[in-house]
């Protein structure tokens, strides 16, 4: 026979309620932690979508650029071919110019040699002409002597005198002709000297032009080689661009598919986040119901403390109304006025100065309840926190990051936790949230709140935040 199973003693009802309360609190913690993980995934997914959109835009832009480059390369290749044709024609003209310049230089050198060869001839003519002048002078002297002798001879020498006159006239004409030749030779010599100078200068110029022409010809040949190489490279780039164009064209469709997948994933994360938010609300309701059924757990002292202080604040507000220190209209004012120059933005309500006076004596002692307590502050139904703990109510500076951590009074916290704390009318509300510690680090916090009731009207709630 099989042994009968041993029945365990059923746990007392109080123990089950305590366990239920503890389990509900643990469930809320796990759900919030997982929701934070999904929020981070959602944020990363949105960043990925932005990056993919930018990448897709860059890919489309790169495709357009590649097409424009390919077109430019084709135009460049055609221009290079055309330039090569022009350069070939120019090169032929340069070669002919160099040839003509060389011929001119040779002709100039020939003229220089001929001028040098003519100079001795001119010198000889000059010498001969001087000899002719000397002879003409001697003939003239002989003619004069002959005429004198003819005169002495009388009638017999008359014929000889005629001959002497003729010789005398001939010698005079010969002398004049010789002098003309001398002047002409002198002019010719000066002209030859100038011509030699001009020829020498022209030779130097032709030599310089020839040197420049040969240099230009060599540079032209080098340019032809370089441009031909550039044309070949442009053609190679054009061929490579065609292959690249095919690869680049495949990027946008692929990126679009990836973007669609990521978008669908982010949409799924949004849906999961919304469902988790409902699950968080459910876990908070479970905590409240378990406590209402008599369950007890580690948060019980904090619940009692926040409820007691919320009641004290309500009583303090009512007393101020009865003493006419504030009106009901001012106490429930929601016409927030911006504080000029504040960053993050701060606002004032008509009751802010009043709460600055009455709330610190109630809120500050709560910081000593437990080392885990971070802050205790009241918010109205809009999430407006007029008066914070002193350590979070510093004078704002120029650094918004520092202000965000140290100047948290007079600010509206309309996030999920802040709004639920301000609008909750249940005896208490225990929320779990992730506090941003900076640098991508988060810490799980508990936000416990109790409603503040003033003469039957719901003003807001008192928040007590503490670490796990």
| Residues 332, 436 within the same domain | yes
Three-class secondary structure of residue 221 per DSSP: helix
Which of the four pLDDT bands, split at 50, 70 and 90, describes residue 447?
A: very high
- Residues 373-428: pLDDT tens digits? 999 999 999 999 999 999 999 999 999 999 999 999 999 999 999 999 999 999 99
| Residues 425, 312 within the same domain | yes
Task: Output 10-17 pairs: Cβ under 8 A, ≥24 positions apart.
Answer: 14/294, 14/295, 17/290, 17/293, 17/294, 17/295, 17/296
Say whether pLDDT at 314 is over 90: yes
Domain containing residue 446: CATH number: 3.30.450.20
Three-class secondary structure of residue 4 per DSSP: coil
| Residues 366, 451 within the same domain | yes
Q: How many domains does the chain have?
A: 2
- Give the whole-angstrom CA distance, residue 34 versus residue 432: 12
Question: How many of the other CB atoms lie within 10 Å of CB of 31?
Answer: 19
* pTM assigned to the model: 0.54
Percent share of the chain, pLDDT over 70: 76
| Residues 323, 463 within the same domain | yes
Q: Which residues contact 327 (CB under 8 A, 6 or more apart)?
A: 321
What is the C-alpha radius of gyration for the chain, rounded to an integer number of angstroms?
60
- What is the reported pLDDT for 35? 59
- Give the whole-angstrom CA distance, residue 120 versus residue 113: 12
Report residue 246 as tokens: 């095919």
Q: Quick check: is 45 in a domain?
A: no
Q: Which is more confidently placed, 15 or 346?
A: 346
DSSP 109-151: HHHHHHHHHHHHHHHHHHHHHHHHHHHHHHHHHHHHHHHHHHH
User: Region 96-106: what's the mean pLDDT?
Assistant: 77
Q: Is 366 exposed, middle or buried (0-12, 13-18, 19+ CB in 10 A)?
A: buried
Three-class secondary structure of residue 372 per DSSP: coil
Domain containing residue 137: CATH number: 1.10.287.950
| Residues 385, 444 within the same domain | yes
- Residues 131-181: pLDDT tens digits? 777 787 777 777 788 778 777 777 776 777 777 777 777 777 777 777 777
Q: Quick check: is 141 in a domain?
A: yes
* Average pLDDT of the residues of the chain: 79
- What is the reported pLDDT for 397? 93
- What is the reported pLDDT for 19? 64
Q: First CA to last CA across the chain, in angstroms?
A: 52
- Give the whole-angstrom CA distance, residue 27 versus residue 286: 10
Say whether pLDDT at 361 is over 80: yes
| Residues 229, 321 within the same domain | no
| Residues 172, 302 within the same domain | no
Q: Which is more confidently placed, 440 or 257?
A: 257
- Residues 239-260: pLDDT tens digits? 776 667 667 677 677 767 777 7
Say whether pLDDT at 69 is over 60: yes
Please answer whether residues 379 and 422 qualify as being in contact, where contact means their C-beta atoms are separated by less than 8 angstroms: yes
Q: Quick check: is 200 in a domain?
A: yes
| Residues 98, 216 within the same domain | yes
Three-class secondary structure of residue 1 per DSSP: coil
| Residues 393, 312 within the same domain | yes
Which of the four pLDDT bands, split at 50, 70 and 90, describes residue 7?
A: very low
| Residues 455, 319 within the same domain | yes
Which residue range is the domain that position 402 belongs to?
Answer: 298-467
């Amino acid at each position: 026979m099989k042994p009968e199973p041993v029945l365990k003693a059923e746990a007392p009802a109080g123990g089950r309620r305590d366990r239920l309360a503890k389990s509900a609190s643990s469930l809320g913690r796990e759900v919030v932690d997982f929701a934070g993980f999904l929020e981070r995934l959602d944020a990363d997914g949105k960043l990925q979508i932005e990056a993919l959109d930018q990448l897709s835009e860059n890919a489309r832009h790169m495709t357009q650029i590649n097409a424009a480059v390919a077109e430019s390369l084709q135009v460049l290749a055609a221009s290079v071919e055309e330039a090569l044709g022009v350069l070939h024609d120019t090169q032929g003209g340069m070669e002919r110019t160099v040839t003509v310049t060389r011929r001119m230089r040779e002709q100039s050198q020939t003229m220089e040699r001929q001028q040098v060869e003519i100079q001795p001839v001119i010198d000889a003519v000059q010498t001969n002409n001087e000899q002719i002048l000397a002879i003409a002078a001697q003939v003239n002297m002989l003619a004069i002597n002959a005429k004198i002798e003819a005169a002495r001879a009388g009638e017999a020498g008359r014929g000889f005198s005629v001959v002497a006159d003729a010789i005398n006239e001939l010698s005079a004409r010969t002398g004049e002709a010789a002098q003309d030749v001398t002047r002409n030779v002198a002019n010719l010599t000066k002209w030859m000297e100038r011509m030699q100078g001009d020829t020498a200068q022209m030779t130097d110029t032709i030599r310089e032009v020839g040197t420049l022409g040969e240099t230009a010809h060599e540079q032209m040949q080098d340019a032809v080689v370089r441009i031909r190489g550039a044309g070949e490279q442009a053609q190679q780039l054009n061929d490579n661009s065609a292959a690249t164009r095919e690869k680049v064209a495949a990027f946008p469709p692929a990126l679009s598919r990836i973007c669609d997948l990521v978008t669908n994933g982010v949409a799924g994360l949004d849906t999961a986040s919304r469902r988790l938010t409902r699950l968080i609300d459910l876990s908070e309701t479970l905590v409240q119901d378990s406590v209402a059924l008599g369950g007890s757990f580690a948060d019980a002292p904090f619940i009692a403390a926040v409820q007691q202080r919320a009641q004290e604040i309500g009583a303090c507000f009512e007393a101020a109304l009865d003493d006419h220190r504030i009106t009901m209209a001012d106490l429930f004012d929601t016409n927030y006025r911006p504080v000029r120059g504040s960053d993050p933005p701060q606002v004032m309500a008509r009751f802010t100065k009043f709460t600055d006076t009455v709330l610190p004596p109630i809120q500050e002692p709560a910081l000593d309840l437990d080392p885990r307590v971070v802050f205790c502050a009241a918010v109205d139904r809009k999430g407006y926190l007029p008066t914070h703990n002193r350590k979070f109510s510093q004078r704002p500076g120029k650094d918004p990051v520092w202000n965000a951590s140290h100047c948290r009074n007079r600010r509206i916290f309309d996030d999920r936790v802040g709004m639920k704390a301000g609008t909750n009318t249940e005896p208490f509300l225990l929320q779990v949230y992730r506090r941003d510690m900076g640098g991508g680090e988060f810490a799980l916090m508990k936000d416990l709140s109790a409603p503040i009731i003033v003469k039957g009207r719901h003003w807001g709630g008192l928040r007590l935040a503490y670490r796990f």
